[in-house]
A and B are shown apart, each in its own frame.
Chain A
Amino acid sequence: MHGDEPSRPRAETIANAESPILKLQSVGKRFPGVVALRDVSFEVARGSGHVLLGENGAGKSTLINLLGGVLQPDDGSIWFDGAPYRPTSPLEAIRAGIRVVHQELHLLSNLSVAENLLFEQLPSRRGLVSFRDMNRRAAELLAEVGLDVSPTMEVGRLGVAQMQLVEIAKALCHESKLLVLDEPTATLTVREVDRLFEILHRLKAKGVTTLYISHRLEEIYEVGDQVTVLRDGAHVTTRALAGLDIPDIVKLMVGRTITGQAPIDMDAPIGDEALDVTDLKLTDESPAISFSLRKGEIVGIAGLVGSGRTEMVRALFGADPKAAGTIRIDGQEVDIASPKDAVAHGLCLATEDRKGQGLLLEMSCAENMTITDLLRVSWRGLLQRKQENDNAQRLVRELRVKTPSIHQAVRTFSGGNQQKVVIAKWLFRGPKTLIFDEPTRGIDVGAKAEIYELLGKLALEGKSILVVSSDLPELMAICHRILVFSNGRITGEVPRAEFDEHRILSLAYQEYSRVRAS
């Protein structure tokens, strides 16, 4: 199957400073009916920061899985540290010196932080786990990534960003030669990202090579010397990052230029007040939150991860209980105790966790789209499949969901297409107020632009939109107004005319610095 293995030249078996740490030669990988990688060849210089870019579906994940020992190549060969590299399991990859931090978290939520960190080599004495050694070692690792939690804390009680840091700390506890980071910053806040870069610089000084994948293009300059771009499973280029600016890179990735990032018509008139939240409290002790939203308006919610943004929108939507607060819709006070109530009042929520909370992964595209309002495609409790299929077809066309059939299980969709299905299912219900929690997380550039365009269109139709996002440039591009959350309270409201990254960020940090000062 794979190409003729080159006979090992002596020079390459001896690792030296000049030879590349990683070398791919005509690597190919096929899945039933899909070519994920074809004829990919490039080298990663020893001790460098190497950035791997490409839209979703370009073959990045497959490549990472080949390196991590999850998959094996069909064609070509990989050389690592001067020797042929063909791991058949993740354990072999780790032993060879390659450590992969996957985008999806692989933590055992019922075990403690320390147990997760040291799971593969629990410190033991005479066959019994030594909890003292384990917790001490774990505390060191946590200090290294700047995560301030107890090693004995259960992982399930951590936030997503904290889990991500645990995952990174876990990678640090092994002496790896090549560290592969797949979207490590997707859930991190600015401060945590800075901390991560600090760690990466330190590792680099120690001679560790990093292969870095990210959708946030502005941050790759922090960590990368070289960049490799993949497109449709093929290698586009490997070159020095210096001298390339973001539009150049995007052009390489998509093969076309995306014009601007704000397809939103900001001059369109804003209507009456649609939603008014007064003194919303999540618990009896938490601060009261008040804000309002008007028709045709897109309001962003900025803030650090863990600042209470997700918790607030979930409570507003009735997904989690709240302690107090008045919600008015079109001036009428309403009682929202469950998502059912919220939906009945024209609210909808596209959750942060698409796969876990938004989609019926094993079910079809059509079934996912109509789940919000089955009454519309039924008659006296009987499903009308023709109606259902027609509606699904229409939504697939309108939102440009890429699928061969509306009967395809959404599990097989890319992140961008899955998000479109989530939006479609809410559009099918016909809501008046749409709440999006991290709508473009883990989505490629092209699909992002389409989603922004869609938000703009919805606003023009007079719908009110609330967008929670950790991507500040994104909020600044698409919002009329930005509310800034800091440690559970709203610390500021910035109108579009006054948008300023520095100001919003300082508002986001405000409550934390005050806490620390006291």
Chain B
Amino acid sequence: MSEQVERATERKARVKWDNLLRISMREAGVTVALVLIVLFFCVTAPYFATSGNFLKIFVQIAINTVLAAGMTFVILTGGIDLSVGSVLALCTVVGATIMTDERLAPGTSIALAFAACLGTGAICGAINGWVCERWKLPSFIVTLGMLNIASGLARVVSNNSTITGLPQPFVDFGNMIFFGVFPSIFVIALGVVLIGWFILRFTVFGRFIFAIGTNEEAVRLSGHNPSAIKIAAFTISGLTAGTAAMVYLLRLNVGSPIAGIGYELNAIAAVIIGGTSLSGGKGSIIGTLVGACILQVLSTGLQLLGAEDNVKPIVIGAVIVLAVILDTYRNKFLRAMESRRSDG
């Protein structure tokens, strides 16, 4: 009898340990990869292991991290958002136009610009989602359309020119650095990731995001409306594009209609390297953060090693594909672990 109890507790402990392992496995592999890459460059690349260099990396990953955080929501539902780069451009010109309006006090203009950036992004995202769901269209096509529309609107709003002369307090905030290595914009990016992680992990909405990516029809037949959740996911992606636009303004201090070209692809790459499945249902936003770090560390590290600009994209491209290949092995390993458990 007592032996039985003992065995039961033992099994319970093993199940618990396995669960922990399973949950952390998703991020663990890619995090180990990041650490190895960082160590490699620390040893081989001159100046890599300096606080100045890390500061530079943190500055550079902020925009992509924010975009990729929102992108994670859309990809988890099984969609894709190609419009974030040009929505970011539209938001920068909207924000910069408001901030440079001389009729407004600096404090008011910054607050208004912040609201307008986020609002514009959210509206673009909501339109993406609504059109996809209303006419049951693939998000690839709809957001490709939005990519062009937002880009055109950005030119119209800005009169095809860059907007400079942002208020000084705003510029100063963008230049702030905490503890010597953490720039303010990186802290914002971390905040966005943290919020995203919380939503995905602890809310009913987050559960629906994963469920829809796993089997949308089953969610519908369970008495829910997947369309509403999917539109919300696109709205979040638009919202982060607006937030990324603020980060862009903080970093570069100009609103530009040609900002953000190709950013959507970097964001997608970060999500995929971070272990989120393009077909939806599996992934994590922490993985996305690590994925964004890997992309930037590679880029900076290769530069410090003296690699030519032409070589960088070749290496990064190979890494993206490699990440997906490794992902298939990880999934195999996880499945094997699971069938072992179902035996026990």
A positions within 8 Å CB-CB of B: 31-34, 317, 319, 338-340, 342-344, 348-349, 351, 356-363, 367, 371-372, 374-375, 378, 381-383, 403-405, 407-409, 412-413, 425, 429
Known A375-B204, A408-B341, A408-B342: A359·B223 in contact at CB below 8 Å: no
CB-CB under 8 A from A429, the residues of chain B are 223
Known A32-B336, A403-B342, A405-B341: A340·B223 in contact at CB below 8 Å: yes
Residue from A339, A367, A382, A407 in contact with B223 in the complex, judged by beta carbons closer than 8 Å: A339
Give the interface SS of chain B, mostly helix, strand, loop or mixed: helix
Can you report 17 A-B residue pairs in the complex whose CB atoms are below 8 A from each other? A32-B336, A33-B340, A33-B343, A340-B224, A342-B223, A343-B222, A357-B217, A357-B221, A360-B218, A363-B210, A363-B211, A367-B207, A374-B204, A383-B203, A404-B344, A407-B15, A407-B19
B195 CB, min distance to chain A CBs, angstroms: 14
B204 touches A404 (CB 8 A): no
Is B161 at the interface (CB under 8 A from chain A)? no
A404 vs B17: C-alpha distance in the bound complex, in angstroms?
A: 13
Name the CB-closest residue of A to B217.
Answer: A357
Name the CB-closest residue of B to A431.
Answer: B223
A50 vs B207: C-alpha distance in the bound complex, in angstroms?
A: 48
CB-CB under 8 A from A348, the residues of chain B are 223
A372 touches B339 (CB 8 A): no
A353 CB, min distance to chain B CBs, angstroms: 9
A362 touches B282 (CB 8 A): yes
Known A362-B281, A367-B207: A339·B344 in contact at CB below 8 Å: no
A34 vs B341: C-alpha distance in the bound complex, in angstroms?
A: 9
Known A342-B223, A367-B211: A381·B339 in contact at CB below 8 Å: no
CB-CB under 8 A from B282, the residues of chain A are 362
CB-CB under 8 A from A344, the residues of chain B are 223
Is B7 at the interface (CB under 8 A from chain A)? no
Among A363, A381, A429, the most chain B Cβ lie within 10 Å of the Cβ of A363
Known A339-B223, A359-B218, A362-B281: A412·B338 in contact at CB below 8 Å: yes
B203 touches A361 (CB 8 A): no
Residue from B203, B214, B217, B338 in contact with A381 in the complex, judged by beta carbons closer than 8 Å: B203
Among A338, A371, A413, A425, the most chain B Cβ lie within 10 Å of the Cβ of A371
Among B207, B218, B336, the most chain A Cβ lie within 10 Å of the Cβ of B218
Against A, the Cβ 8 Å flags (1 = close, 0 = not) of B304-326 are 00000000000000000000000
A413 vs B343: C-alpha distance in the bound complex, in angstroms?
A: 11
A429 vs B221: C-alpha distance in the bound complex, in angstroms?
A: 13
Name the CB-closest residue of B to A33.
Answer: B340
A362 vs B282: C-alpha distance in the bound complex, in angstroms?
A: 9
Contacts A342-B223, A360-B219, A412-B342 known; 6 new A-B pairs at CB < 8 A:
A33-B339, A34-B339, A339-B222, A360-B214, A360-B215, A371-B207
CB-CB under 8 A from A412, the residues of chain B are 338-339, 342
Name the CB-closest residue of A to B333.
Answer: A32
CB-CB under 8 A from A339, the residues of chain B are 220-224
A352 vs B336: C-alpha distance in the bound complex, in angstroms?
A: 29
CB-CB under 8 A from B11, the residues of chain A are 404
CB-CB under 8 A from B211, the residues of chain A are 360, 363, 367, 371
CB-CB under 8 A from B203, the residues of chain A are 378, 381-383
A361 touches B341 (CB 8 A): no
Interface residues in B4-34 by Cβ distance below 8 A to A read 11, 15, 19, 22
A340 vs B344: C-alpha distance in the bound complex, in angstroms?
A: 38
B222 touches A425 (CB 8 A): yes
A218 CB, min distance to chain B CBs, angstroms: 32
A338 CB, min distance to chain B CBs, angstroms: 7
CB-CB under 8 A from A372, the residues of chain B are 222-223
Among B11, B219, B221, B342, the most chain A Cβ lie within 10 Å of the Cβ of B221
B221 touches A358 (CB 8 A): yes
Interface residues in B200-237 by Cβ distance below 8 A to A read 202-208, 210-211, 214-215, 217-225
CB-CB under 8 A from A33, the residues of chain B are 339-341, 343-344
CB-CB under 8 A from A378, the residues of chain B are 203-204
| Nearest 8 CB-CB pairings of A with B | A343-B223, A33-B340, A33-B343, A360-B214, A32-B336, A34-B343, A374-B204, A405-B15
A351 touches B223 (CB 8 A): no
A344 CB, min distance to chain B CBs, angstroms: 7
Among B203, B211, B222, the most chain A Cβ lie within 10 Å of the Cβ of B222
A407 vs B203: C-alpha distance in the bound complex, in angstroms?
A: 18
Among B19, B204, B217, B220, the most chain A Cβ lie within 10 Å of the Cβ of B204
A349 CB, min distance to chain B CBs, angstroms: 7
Among B15, B217, B223, B341, the most chain A Cβ lie within 10 Å of the Cβ of B223
